[in-house]
């Protein structure tokens, strides 16, 4: 039985505990804000946080903690997230000015090729502005307040340990939640802080890793084999997943089979987008498929046996994901990047339409983020009936 179908050992209550899964994807996470804004609108006035368990990875971890910090007032938390994402500029996440780009590139080369400054982690981009932004916008004390008020059961972010090779889920929750240890996956209780968010969102090579308890951590999507599993360990028995790629249940398995081949070697950007997609998207889509298959097989088992075996219990999954490829949207907005970054990315081919997939992760600019938020809102409203049922809302309360 795969880990995706695991329940936390103490999760025997029939009461529904809804988990929210926010995947990684850099600037693509603006889409999640649009979906959450639609959910806030569907909820009745004054409704409490509908997600007792919130789990995030990479940029999704930032959204997850933002929600948890404001869980006492769900709508206000969504408004704060929306305000930040709608006001984004690249310079608020990483340095995009000429001196910043060139200086960081020189540091990266001297560190990687000449071995200078090996004791300090380095990357292609300087993400110091993101640290300042998160420190200014997030009040971590809100997590404890929400836990004490029982408006939140747990919030978790996942990061990847470069020495241990483990995906570590750092979670803050109630004392009854036990840590877990699985193959290359660990759950450890802690008091979440800024370092956990910066570690979880540190895309390999692009952003520098972050040291936590004597080990350097990077983006949690790296080697994350079962992205849904942490929510189940934290007590969720049904999950809403907000993805940042096309819905795998709607995709055509033969898509691309008849696409004409150019015969040209791939650019660095084209290779990079497949690596990024493999890191941020494929594991989540695969985990959803496995979970849906296990749910189907579980229904073939007698009810009495299902009640005895926690791993056989059905885990309801609702997925909301983009109806339009995000790289196509990024291609329309690629000129919004600061000119120094466009120059820096031109050689690898990221500023061409064929390399726009890379930009879809790095384009922290207003026009792009606004369009993703609108798309997320639209896609969620197109699934209004499903969300209404999933969240237990009645139409007359909407």
Q: Please confirm, yes or no, whether 58 is among the known catalytic residues.
A: yes
Q: Are 284 and 243 in contact (CB under 8 A)?
A: yes
| CA separation for the pair 225, 207 (Å, rounded) | 22
- The candidate with the shortest Cα–Cα distance to 362, out of 240, 271, 261, 273, is 273
Per annotation, catalytic residue among 126, 219, 287, 379: 219
Q: Please confirm, yes or no, whether 126 is among the known catalytic residues.
A: no
Per annotation, catalytic residue among 11, 58, 245, 321: 58
- The candidate with the shortest Cα–Cα distance to 292, out of 4, 54, 15, is 4
| CA separation for the pair 154, 176 (Å, rounded) | 11
CB atoms within 10 A of CB 66: 27
Query: So which residues are the catalytic ones?
Result: 58, 219
């Amino acid at each position: 039985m795969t880990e995706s179908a695991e329940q936390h050992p103490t999760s025997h209550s029939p009461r529904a505990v809804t988990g929210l899964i926010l995947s990684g994807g850099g600037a693509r996470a603006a889409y999640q804000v649009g979906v959450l804004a639609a959910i806030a609108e569907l909820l009745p006035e004054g409704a409490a946080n509908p997600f007792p368990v919130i789990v995030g990875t990479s940029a999704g971890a930032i959204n997850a903690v933002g929600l948890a910090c404001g869980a006492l007032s769900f709508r206000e938390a969504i408004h704060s997230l929306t305000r930040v994402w709608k006001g984004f500029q690249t310079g608020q996440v990483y340095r995009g000015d000429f001196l910043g780009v060139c200086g960081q590139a020189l540091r990266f080369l001297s560190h990687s090729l000449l071995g200078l400054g090996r004791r300090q982690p380095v990357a292609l981009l300087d993400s110091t502005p993101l640290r300042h932004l998160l420190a200014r916008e997030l009040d971590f004390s809100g997590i404890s307040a929400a836990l004490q008020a029982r408006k939140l059961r747990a919030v978790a972010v996942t990061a990847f340990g470069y020495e241990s090779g483990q995906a570590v889920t750092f979670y803050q929750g109630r004392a009854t939640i036990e840590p877990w240890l699985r193959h290359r996956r660990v759950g450890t209780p802690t008091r979440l802080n800024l370092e956990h968010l910066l570690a979880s969102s540190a895309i390999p090579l692009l952003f520098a890793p972050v040291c936590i308890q004597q080990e350097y951590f990077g983006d949690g999507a790296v080697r994350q084999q079962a992205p849904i599993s942490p929510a189940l360990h934290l007590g969720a028995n049904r999950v809403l997943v907000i993805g940042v790629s096309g819905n795998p249940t709607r995709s055509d398995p033969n898509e691309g089979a008849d696409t004409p081949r150019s015969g040209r070697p791939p650019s660095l950007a084209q290779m990079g987008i497949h690596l990024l997609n493999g890191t941020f998207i494929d594991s989540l889509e695969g985990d959803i498929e496995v979970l849906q298959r296990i749910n189907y097989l579980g229904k073939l088992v007698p009810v009495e046996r299902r009640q005895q075996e926690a791993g056989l219990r059905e885990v309801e999954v609702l997925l909301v994901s983009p109806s339009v490829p995000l790289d196509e949207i990024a291609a329309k907005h690629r000129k919004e990047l600061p000119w120094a970054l466009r120059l820096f990315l031109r050689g690898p081919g990221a500023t061409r339409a064929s390399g726009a997939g890379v930009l879809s992760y790095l384009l922290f600019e207003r026009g792009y983020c606004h369009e993703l938020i609108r798309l997320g809102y639209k896609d969620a409203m197109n699934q209004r009936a499903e969300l209404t049922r999933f969240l237990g809302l009645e139409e007359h309360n909407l």
